[in-house]
Structure formats: structure tokens, C-alpha cells
Amino acid sequence: MNKAIYIAASGANSGKSMLSLGLMQLLLRNKPKVGYFRPIIDNPVEGKKDNHVNTIVNYFNLKCDYEETYAFTRSELIDSLNEDKEDEILNNILEKYKKLEEKNDFVIVEGTDFSDHGAIIEMDLNVLIAKNLGIPVIIVSGGIDKSLEDFIQGLRLTYDSFTNKDVEVIAVIANKVEEKNIPLIIEGIGENLPKSLLINAIPMNSKLNNPTINEIVNALDAEILFGKKLLNATTGEIKVGAMQLAHFLNHLTDECVVITPTDRADILLGTLQANISSRYPTISGIILTGNIELSASVLELINGLEKIVPILKVKGGTFGIASKLGAIRSHIYAENKNKIKLSINTFEKYVDIETLSNKLITYKGTNVLTPRMFQYNLLKRAKLVRKHIVLPEGNDDRILTAAAQLQKLDIVDITIIGEKVKIKAAVKRLNISFDFDKTEIINPIESKYFKDFSETLFELRKHKGLSPAMSEDLMADVSYFGTMMVYKGLADGMVSGAAHTTQHTIKPALQFIKTKPGFNVVSSIFFMCLEDRVSVFGDCAINPNPTAEQLAEIAISSADSSIAFGIDPKIAMLSYSSGASGKGEDVETVRKATEIVKEKRSDLKVEGPIQYDAAVDPTVGKKKLPNSKVAGQANVLIFPDLNTGNNTYKAVQRETGALAIGPMLQGLKKPVNDLSRGCTIEDIYNTIIITAIQAQE
């Protein structure tokens, strides 16, 4: 079940606040704990809290710290973008959101305000955030100063911006529109869009759109002469008092704001009298222009009235102030309970809340796991049970740098094999922060474990002709020493291969750690973090030419590894043909392997033989294998041989910029993982994390 919704505006002045208030009220009827999160907030003014956050948190009495409710201020965001820190931005947003998700039954995520001029950049950012959070979207758009055609077209373009990136939109709300246009708007937006999409429209409400008297005070820097207790009053039309009083009184409307020069005592007093008269509308406030003082006699008269509306004094002329007043944008504040209630009531009147509530509660979400969500889940899993990983290649700068990064996270214990003097010199040369108190450094020959390890190896391998002297020679090798630490339980897993071949890394593990019961093949997978999904590639590192039986075991192991790491497997057994179209020994091997997988594990979704394009492209998959449950949706891709697998993963990695996490070895009793000699620091970092997770099993 889905646990969040993303509110995205299509532009400025959309009325997102109404939607947030209405949704919060709706959700709190069914969910005990609902969180509120804004990835980006406007820059704070004089140390004040963000108004959106403050209003929601205070009105609904949400139990959360202010710092939990947002990730970045707008200035912080711009600074990070200018420094090309997009990854850091998204990771921080994801981490903060996840913490709220864990603490609440549901989370409302409110997108950006479009406060600046970069509307296209801001739209792309909202799409990117929603995509990486993996949550559905409600789009809201305001119709002020837009033609009917432009408004409908803009909303449809916003819808396409999200759905083109595989972000599901469950509702579109057209806000601040003319009531007479509602049927046309709903019909226009819905044309050629899914019937399941909820489309509603909310008409303009002047009481919500117009500023309160308090907002006028702040915008015009006005002096409050009377009526401080009534500043939250909503306002209607602007009425300029320039004509004679007898004519002016005929123009008063309910909740209007009267603007008049200070020396027009007749307009001022006549308006106050009209306000208390049952024959005239109620006035919201009076603004006196010209920056001159009221006469003592007029002040005395006003002070004697029982009912006084807010009276403000401002600098500037009448018509200039009237123009400024028309440009003031209204907001909803925590103090204005009447405006909040009006917003909620308006939302519930015009939005099909029963259908919307059902969509929110029953939405199942997508099975597509985004790369950032996958990496976040890796860290979360690694933190569950602290594990100890040994790194045999202490002479490699990349290993030391990755270890230093993991020290800061403090989620795994690390032992590095090497000479401490050389490692200290390397750390100094690299200028990295490395805590030697946190990480043990072991030189095999000088280690207290050396004799015991050598004797153990001799006992394990003497039937193969290994002598005690040969055992000592082998134990001086960092790969053997590190693997023996895992065998003896002094470490939970090992990561090596940055400076050694695959054979050198895994040979000791095959000799004495050996395979799990029921496993005959040690194989590998890569977690390929593509732009919008995570796929599993296997086997791309170990088995050159697997038989049908071995290929089937690789597929089953890869599927189980996928499940263990939060991926629902759909297995494609890859070949150069799809279905029954191809013939030849290689195709038959894949076909037989597919049948073995189906026989051994009927619970798994598997298709083969199938070509790569038919496996991952929905259009091609539907054309070539129309009845398949895997074609076009495969996320576990099993290659027929090492040559194909290794070249494909490297081609995808280099050409698409995908992050390849692995290889992760499958089938051993204890985790030992092999790095590529061309690995990056990030590759090492990620492989240590997945090794720690494997060790938890």
C-alpha cells in the first residue's frame, strides 16, 4: 500500500495550500499519524518558520520537529545546484522523507512554489523528486490570468511531464477558475487521458484569493490606527473614495476595502456609519492615504464608536496605493483559522473526496525500484545488524578512500590487510580523514593469527598434497589471509579484487569456504542502477560457458538475491532469439535452462529464450511475446555465457552512465565478493555495503 502523495503545482499562484489542508483533513479521518514534508522551502524571513509548514503543523497539531519537515531552503538548493551536487540534493531529500515515512501512517509531500523565474527547471525538479521518492502525484494549477485554452493545455503538459518519466498521476485539480467554465475544463483536461484519472475543478473564491487586512498591513508597511483585533478579516473588492459621499455609498460591497485620502473625513465617517447600518454591507477595512494626521475631533469621534473596522494609514497617493493593493498575493497563515476552515470547506465541496480517498488508500504503487531508493535501502539494511568486513588490499588508494567514507557512516566494522606504516603514508598523501582507532590494520606475517591460520589451512588442504611450508607461503598472501578471517569468523565477509584477478580473489573461498548446501555453482550478479530502474545482470564475472543446469541455478540464485535486496524478480533468459523462432545449440541450452527453472521454482516468473530488447522494451516485448508476463518488464537478465554478460554490463555501464554495483557472488557459505580492477571508489563502497547485507543472512 502507498504511504504518501506528492502535491505538484504547474506554476505560481496555484493554490497548493488549499490542497494540502484539504488532504490533511481527509487523511486524518482514516490515519492516526500523517506527516507533512516540503523538499524545498522559501528562504526564511527574519528567522521565521516557513509559512506552509507552520500553518499545517500548528493547525493540525502534528507531532514533529520543524527541521524534519523540509530538506533545503531555496538558497541552499541553488548553491548546491551551482556546485553540481544534484546527487547530494536528492539523497538528502530521500533520507529526510524516509525518516518521516517510517514515523507516520501517511505523508503529504508538497512541491515547490515556483517563486523564481526558472519554471522549467522547477518543473523538472518536482518530477525528479517525485520519481525518486517513488510516490504518486496530484497536480494542481491556478487559472488566474490564463485563457481557457492555455490553462487546459498547460495542465495537460504538466501531466505529460510526470507520466513521461513513469511517475503516476492520480488526480488533476484545476483551481481558481470561473465556475461557468468547470465542465469545459474537466472535459478538456480529460480528453485522451485515462478514465481512471480523477479530474476536479475549484472555482475562484475571492475570500481566499484576496489578502487579509494583516497581509495588507505587511505589504504596504501600514500604521494601524484602529482595529488591531480584526486584522485577520478577509477582504473583497477595492473601493476608492474619491467622489461625493452620497454617490460613494452606493458603490460599497460586502467585505470591501475602502481607500481614501486622510483629509476626506466625510468618506471615512460615512463608511464607518455604513458598516454599522443594517442597510449597508459590512466593511473589512479602511486605508487612509497621503501620510497626514487625522484631526483630533475625528479621532475623538471614532474612539466613541462601539464597532470600528481596522483603519490603516499609509504613505503614498490614493491611486498608487490602490494599484499596489491589487498586486498583493494572499497566503494562508496559521493564525487565520477562518481562512483555513474556508479552504478546507471549499476543497471538500468541489473535490470528489470519496474517490480521492479511495485512490490514496488503495494505490499499490509501482514495482519499479529507482536507483536512489535502492541505494537508500542498502544503507538502511546494512545498519540493521552491524557486520565486520575485511579488505585485503590495503596498498590500494581506492580501498583506503572507500574505507574512510564508511568510517564516517559508522555502519560496518572494517579490517584492512597491509603494512601500517605504508597505509599511514598513503592516508597522508591522499589527504583523507582516516581514524586508525576505528579500523584494524593487519600485516599477515606479523599477525598473531598467522600460525593458527597456516595450521588450519594445512588441515583443510593436506589431502590435496599441501605441506605445512606451502600453507605458510599461501597464508602470507592477502587473499588467503582475508578469506581465512572469514572462515574463522573473525570477519563476516571479504571484498577484494581491486588489485587482483578474479581467480586470485575467489580461489581460496572455493577451496575452504565452499558452496552452500544445495548449490553447485558459484555465480555473480551486478545491480545495474539505470536512470529510472534497477536491473540485475547475471552471470557477468565467473562462469565462462555454463550448462543448462548451471544456467538454471544461476537464474534461481539471481532471483533469490533480487528478492533479498527488495526487487520483485521477473527473469529473462537471454538469447539471440525469442520464443520458438530460433534454433541451434546455444538457443536450446537457454530453452532447457528455462524449463529447469520452471520445474524447480514454479513461484518465479521466467521467460526464455528471449532477446534483450524484447525483455526490457514493453513495445518490442508485446510484439514478439504478446502473452508473456515477463517480456518488456524483465529486471533479472540472465546471460547465456560470460563473454556476452561481461561485455554487455560494461557496455551498458559506459554508454548510459549506469552505476554497476557488484559483482556480488552467490552460492558461497559466507560472502566473499570480487571487485573489478577498474573499479571506482564508489564501486568499492557499494560492494562493501552489499557484502555486509549478505553477511546478515
pLDDT, tens digit, 9 for 90 and up, residues 492-542: 999 998 888 888 888 999 999 998 888 888 999 999 988 778 899 989 888
How high is the pLDDT of residue 139? 93
Return the C-alpha cell found at 43: 528562504
The per-residue pLDDT for range 334-361, each reduced to its tens digit, is 777 888 888 899 999 999 989 998 888 7
What are the residues facing 109 on neighbouring strands? 6, 37
Going by C-alpha positions, the residue among 200, 195, 188, 183 that lies closest to residue 141 is 200
Q: What is the Cα 271 distance to its own chain's centre?
A: 54
Which residues, listed in sequence order, are joined to residue 622 by a DSSP beta bridge? none
Q: Give the three-class secondary structure for 192.
A: coil
End-to-end CA distance of the chain: 26
User: How, if at all, do strands 523-529 and 659-666 pair?
Assistant: antiparallel
Local structure of 305: helix, strand or coil? coil
**Could you say which residues of the chain have pLDDT below 70?**
1-2, 114-120, 364-368, 582
Q: How far apart are CA 611 and CA 624, in angstroms?
A: 9
Cell numbers at 581, concatenated: 523462432
Query: Strand 311-313 relative to strand 4-9: parallel, antiparallel, unpaired?
Result: unpaired
Residue-level pLDDT at 77: 87
For 167, 234, 559, 560, 599, the CA distances from 603, given in Å and listed in that order, are: 29, 62, 11, 11, 10
CA nearest to 662, candidates 554, 523, 569, 560: 523
- In the block, cell 541505494 appears at 375
Say what percent of the chain tops pLDDT 90: 46
Query: All 3 cell numbers of residue 214?
Result: 494583516
Q: Whole-angstrom Cα distance, residue 369 to residue 347? A: 33
Query: How far, in Å, CA of 206 to CA of 208, rounded?
Result: 5
**Secondary element (H or E) of residue 572:** strand 570-574
Q: Write the CB contacts of 264 (distance below 8 Å, at least 6 apart in sequence).
A: 241
Q: What pLDDT, on the 0 to 100 scale, is given for residue 485?
A: 95
Residue 210 backbone phi and psi in degrees, to 5 = -80, 150
Positions of E strands within 10-162 = 34-41, 70-73, 106-110, 137-142
Please list, residue by residue across 625-643, b when 16 or more beta carbons sit within 10 angstroms of its beta carbon and e when fewer do.
Answer: beebebbbbbbbbbbbebe
Q: Is 146 helix (H, G, I), strand (E, B) or coil?
A: coil
Taking phi over 0 as left and psi of -120 to 50 as alpha, with beta for the rest, 303 belongs to alpha
Residue closest to 394 by CA, chosen among 419, 361, 371, 414: 419
